[in-house]
Amino acid sequence: GAGVSQTPSNKVTEKGKYVELRCDPISGHTALYWYRQSLGQGPEFLIYFQGTGAADDSGLPNDRFFAVRPEGSVSTLKIQRTERGDSAVYLCASSLTNRVFDTEAFFGQGTRLTVV
Amino acid sequence: GQQLNQSPQSMFIQEGEDVSMNCTSSSIFNTWLWYKQDPGEGPVLLIALYKAGELTSNGRLTAQFGITRKDSFLNISASIPSDVGIYFCAGPSQGAQKLVFGQGTRLTINP
């Protein structure tokens, strides 16, 4: 497809388990972002990649959260020892360049994570 | 950190009515963005504003970048059922390549 693709669409996991969320950005987009959206709130920044490197991971809430983008395309957000408070929609976005206010960032449909 | 406050939090209107919502901040933003999010989807960019005082239209949507650079508003004229959704304002965080979002305005249209 031509848009940002996120898998799975929904993930239910038990407290304490490990989860991986995948993002396929638009082909050719060098910048990739992960956001988290809690119910009734706007998206909150987690981490930003420029190419393969994490240029800004200041939004990751703690060391249970980690993200990679080994080949500069697909990214995986990894959450260890999940907690009920991790339940949210995790959104991925990509843009053509790293100038977030010059080029539109296109969002995927999100992965709804529920920790029970 | 920088925060954006949107009002109202929700709106219930009749089809055909005009809608106005706004977004304010205690700090200056150099760019204002307005997004719409449908259920189960990611946000989609509606309008981008880059200069203080700028007024920009996109079909029935009009947005303005406040002269103080601390606020913006979005108007929707002659609302239709597909306008239902959550509208977010956003702006780039100072010195960083990331967006700060407001908490959203939920628009519901009564048939």
Look at residues B8, B32, B70, B2 and name the one whose alpha carbon lies nearest to residue A45.
B2
Q: Using CA atoms, how far apart are residues B88 and B8, in angstroms rounded to an integer?
A: 11
pLDDT tops 80 at residue B52: yes
H/E segment holding residue A55: strand A53-56
Q: Chain A residues with CB inside 8 Å of B30's CB? A: 101
- Residue A5, classed as helix, strand or coil, is strand
The dihedrals phi and psi of A80, each to the nearest 5 degrees, come to -95, 155
What is the percentage of chain A residues whose pLDDT exceeds 70? 94
**pLDDT tens-digit readout, B14-34:** 999 999 999 999 999 989 999
Q: Is the pLDDT of residue A101 over 70?
A: no
Whether B104 sits inside 8 A of A40 (CB atoms) is: yes
Q: Which of B24, B54, B88 lies closest to A105, judged by CA?
A: B88
Contact between A101 and B33 using a beta-carbon 8 Å cutoff: yes
Task: Give the pLDDT score at A102.
Answer: 58
Q: What is the pLDDT of residues A31-76, one digit of tens each?
A: 999 999 999 999 999 999 999 999 899 999 999 999 999 999 999 9
B92 vs A97: which has the higher pLDDT: B92
Q: Which residue in B31, B97, B102 is closest to A55 by CB distance?
A: B97
Query: A27 — phi, psi (to 5°)?
Result: -55, 130
Pick from B44, B96, B100: CB nearest A56: B96
Taking an 8 Å cut-off on Cβ atoms, the answer to whether A42 and B88 are in contact is yes
Q: With 90 as the cut, is the pLDDT of residue A79 above it?
A: yes
Nearest CA in chain B to A106: B44
- CA dist A114 and A86 (Å) reads 8
* Min Cα–Cα distance to chain A from B80, Å: 23
Do B66 and B52 form a contact (C-beta atoms < 8 A)? yes
The pLDDT of residue B94 is 77
| Section A11-40 average pLDDT | 96
If you average pLDDT over every residue of chain B, what do you get? 94
